[in-house]
């Protein structure tokens, strides 16, 4: 059923486009009711409006807190026009129907995002009247059109112009769906903020407000549909806050997962660092004073797995670095037995324009690679309040993010041998790489370069054997990290055979004494962190 728009209530915080919208409504003989700042703006633009007080018989009061919370407003929105009792009540109380509500809400999320926002200011920016009108109009979408976003204005006007001033049920229903999602998201943001101000770590109820960012080509597999949704921005530099530069092809579900894994690892380091990730695990990671050399070392860590990988960098991509990445195979990989090289995604704080041109044109695959620019990495802005969420069928698991990194003051040294400063640096890199690798994991590092990774195996011995096999003779003198303690000395025995010089692990096994004794027998320096990094 089409409903002709005769009366509209317009009251918006985001006033972009509202003057043009109101002028078009007015031109179609729609009576416009408005409030406060919106009424003033429309009047100044020459749009005739009726003030809200002329409808309710009450002035706006209490600093604008009370203006639309009135039976003559909500009765006008909620009244069922095909029900005699409702129409009789509206007539008895002189309530005129409102056919369209154009409302968006106080900028609560923008307010709390300000560094100097105090609780009182946040509370003052909790909209009450707006959500009430939106919900009333959306509930009664059989008769009322609810408009909550500027990008909906043209759709309304187009329908009205085609249908003699009327709007279709299809549009009203669709806008009502959007409206309820908006109020749910708004309330979720308020609840999250107030939960953060309390001492309750895991609230009784958790609402997660997400906004659709993009439809994806498919999910993990082609038979699965997928979409990408964003949380409200927190200020943290991340894949979600990054910008996908023009060119390339659309980013996929697996691309996003892998890119997040790569970028979260590269964020751990302040020094120039490059990370290469394949299937959520780092196959390369290296630190160097020169970012080009860091990339080369990371790529050389596993040239076979680097094919079709994600490349993450914590420095800008200039012409030299772009050329180094694009020519990886011919410069380094071919001699090391790689079958070829291309990257699915390159993510970095910045891309110089000339560097983008080189990436796009130097190799045939450059036109397909996705480039994600994140802006500067500021570890101080990490959102410590954001949950790590995992899904099981029928529920969610929530935990605090694992933000523990390398903690020099927490380290203990149980073995007779102590690691040198150089070995400690390699242990640090191995430990951080292990943190971002699927359990069970063993990571080998030498000269600030990952040599071998054993990831996601059902037992830690097998992970070690994979890492040692990959590193080969280079393992001699390397540092080794294990994401969890050694339940038996077998891993240390295998490490000794491979030539490992130093090991970092959490400690805490019932057989720590045997593990330490085995390390001492082989002259291996061992470091305990006191923390483990399971990653399921």
Give the pair of three-digit tokens for residue 362. 């130097």
What span, in angstroms and rounded, lies between the C-alpha atoms of 38 and 391? 43
Give the pair of three-digit tokens for residue 322. 């772009």
Residue bearing tokens 């050389």: 300
481 exposure class (CB count in 10 Å sphere: 0-12, 13-18, 19+):
buried
What span, in angstroms and rounded, lies between the C-alpha atoms of 294 and 413? 29
Looking at 45-152, list the stretches that DSSP marks H as alpha helix, in order from N- to C-terminal side. Answer: 52-56, 71-78, 84-92, 108-112, 119-124, 129-139
What span, in angstroms and rounded, lies between the C-alpha atoms of 179 and 160? 20
Neighbours of 83 (CB within 10 A): 10
What span, in angstroms and rounded, lies between the C-alpha atoms of 11 and 69? 13
Residue bearing tokens 């694992």: 402
Phi, psi (rounded to 5 degrees) for 98: -110, 125
What span, in angstroms and rounded, lies between the C-alpha atoms of 130 and 367? 47
Q: What angle do CA 356, 359, 362 make, to 5 degrees?
A: 130
Q: Smallest Cα–Cα separation from 322: which of 360, 266, 273, 284? A: 360
387 and 399 Cβ atoms separated by less than 8 Å: yes
396: which DSSP letter? E
242 and 372 Cβ atoms separated by less than 8 Å: yes
DSSP assignment string, 218-267: -SSSTTS-EEEEEPPP-S--STTTSEE-SSS----HHHHHHHHHHHHHHT
Max Cα distance, the chain (Å):
96
Q: Smallest Cα–Cα separation from 406: which of 433, 380, 387, 388? A: 433
266 and 313 Cβ atoms separated by less than 8 Å: yes
* Residues belonging to the active site: 139, 279
Coil/strand/helix, residue 1? coil
Q: Smallest Cα–Cα separation from 300: which of 477, 476, 446? A: 446
Residue bearing tokens 């309820």: 180
186, 400, 533 from 503: Cα distances, Å: 49, 27, 15
What span, in angstroms and rounded, lies between the C-alpha atoms of 507 and 515? 9
What span, in angstroms and rounded, lies between the C-alpha atoms of 106 and 12? 8
Coil/strand/helix, residue 235? coil
What span, in angstroms and rounded, lies between the C-alpha atoms of 404 and 393? 29
Task: Work out whether strand 226-230 and strand 211-216 pair parallel, antiparallel, or are unpaired.
Answer: antiparallel
């Amino acid at each position: 059923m089409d409903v002709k728009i005769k009366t509209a209530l317009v009251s918006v915080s985001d006033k972009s486009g509202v003057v043009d919208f109101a002028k078009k409504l007015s031109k179609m003989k729609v009576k416009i009711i408005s409030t406060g700042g919106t009424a003033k703006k429309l009047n100044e633009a020459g749009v005739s409006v009726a003030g809200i007080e002329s409808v309710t018989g009450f002035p706006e009061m209490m600093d604008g807190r009370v203006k639309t919370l009135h039976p003559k407003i909500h009765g006008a929105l909620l009244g069922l026009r095909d029900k005699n009792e409702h129409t009789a009540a509206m007539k008895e109380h002189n309530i005129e129907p409102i056919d369209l509500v154009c409302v968006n809400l106080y900028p609560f999320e923008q307010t709390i995002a300000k560094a100097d926002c105090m609780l009182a200011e946040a509370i003052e920016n909790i909209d009450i009247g707006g959500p009430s009108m939106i919900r009333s109009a959306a509930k009664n979408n059989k008769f009322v059109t609810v408009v909550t976003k500027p990008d909906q204005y043209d759709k309304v006007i187009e329908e009205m112009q085609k249908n003699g001033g009327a709007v279709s049920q299809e549009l009203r229903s669709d806008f009502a769906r959007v409206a309820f999602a908006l109020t749910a998201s708004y309330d979720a943001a308020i609840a999250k903020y107030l939960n953060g101000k309390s001492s309750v770590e895991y609230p009784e109820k958790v609402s997660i407000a997400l906004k659709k960012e993009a439809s994806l080509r498919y999910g993990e597999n082609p038979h699965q549909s997928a979409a990408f949704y964003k949380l409200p921005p927190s200020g943290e530099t991340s894949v979600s806050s990054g910008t996908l530069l023009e060119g390339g092809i659309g980013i996929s579900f697996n691309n996003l997962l892998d890119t997040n894994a790569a970028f979260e690892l590269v964020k751990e380091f302040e020094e120039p660092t490059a990370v290469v990730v394949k299937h959520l695990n780092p196959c390369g990671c290296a630190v160097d004073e020169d970012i080009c050399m860091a990339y080369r070392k990371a790529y050389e860590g596993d040239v076979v797995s680097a094919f079709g990988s994600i490349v993450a960098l914590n420095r800008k991509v200039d012409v030299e670095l772009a050329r180094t990445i694009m020519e990886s195979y011919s410069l380094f990989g071919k001699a090391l037995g790689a079958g070829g090289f291309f990257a699915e995604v390159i993510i970095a704080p910045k891309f110089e324009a000339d560097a983008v041109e080189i990436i796009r044109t130097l190799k045939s695959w450059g036109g397909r690679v996705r480039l994600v620019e994140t802006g500067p990495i500021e570890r101080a802005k990490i959102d410590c309040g954001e949950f790590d969420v995992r899904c099981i069928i029928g529920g969610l698991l929530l935990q605090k993010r694992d933000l523990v990194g390398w903690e020099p003051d927490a380290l203990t040294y149980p073995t007779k041998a102590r690691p040198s400063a150089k070995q400690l640096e390699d242990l640090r890199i191995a430990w951080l790489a292990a943190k971002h690798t699927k359990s069970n994991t063993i990571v080998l590092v030498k000269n600030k370069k990952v040599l071998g990774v054993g990831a996601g195996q059902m037992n830690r011995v097998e992970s070690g054997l994979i890492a040692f096999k990959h590193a080969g003779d280079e393992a001699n003198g390397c540092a080794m990290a294990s994401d969890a303690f050694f339940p038996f000395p077998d891993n240390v025995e295998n490490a000794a055979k491979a030539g490992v010089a130093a090991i970092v692990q959490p400690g805490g096994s019932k057989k720590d004494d045997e593990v330490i004794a085995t390390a001492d027998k082989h002259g291996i320096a061992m470091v305990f962190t006191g923390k483990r990094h399971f990653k399921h």
